[in-house]
Amino acid sequence: MAIVSNHLLDGRPRLPCNRIALILQVAFGLYLAVMHLHGGIKAWYTRGGGRPKPSIYGIWDVEQMTIDGQIRSPLLTDYDRWRRVIFDFTTSTSFQRMDESFASFGSSINDKSKTLTLAKDDDKNWKANFTFDRTARDRLVLDGAMNGHGIHMELELVDLDQFPVVNRAFHWINDYPFER
């Protein structure tokens, strides 16, 4: 009966297959960990809390809106009137309509000239231009033109602390409805 050795016929040592497999698994695991860490850090600085925020960042309630000089009442059936404007990213702006649907636009905010330019992804020729004036920390006025109509909006900043996800303690399980 022959004894199996870790040497080839020429006398050079060879690594057992199990050791090679272990080294490859550890190397692949380290590669995956580094790639996920890199992706997480990149996401933090592009889409997460470390991203740059616009100077007019926040959720703004539309207190008053006029289109071509006509005041638009906040009716749920008015598709052209907006309920909220959301400035979350430096390159996009979202408008929430009265029926709770959203219209999102690419945007460019120039703080020096106090201008906001909107664009549609699906129509490269479409543009809307606004000027903005932050009259107080929680007040913003937008004036401009969109789709051939003059628009004036007076906005009020929503206090983010009013949202339950921010002001309520975390609970894994709610034993009773949260009506405290």
Spans of all domains in the chain: 14-51, 58-159
pLDDT at 80: 86
Q: How far is CA 43 from the centre of its chain?
A: 11
Task: Tell me the three state secondary structure of residue 101.
Answer: coil
Name the class of domain 58-159. Answer: mainly beta
**What average pLDDT does this structure show over 90-111?**
92
Other C-beta atoms closer than 10 Å to the C-beta of 129 total 13
**What average pLDDT does this structure show over 134-145?**
93
pLDDT tens digits, 2-45: 555 555 555 666 667 788 889 999 999 999 999 999 999 999 99
Reported confidence tier of residue 174, pLDDT bands at 50, 70, 90: low
Q: Which two tokens stand for residue 35?
A: 């790639």
Q: Is the pLDDT of residue 112 over 80?
A: yes
Q: Report pTM.
A: 0.73
Torsional sign, CA 80, 85, 87, 89: negative
**What average pLDDT does this structure show over 127-143?**
93
Other C-beta atoms closer than 10 Å to the C-beta of 128 total 19
Q: Which two tokens stand for residue 84?
A: 């909220």
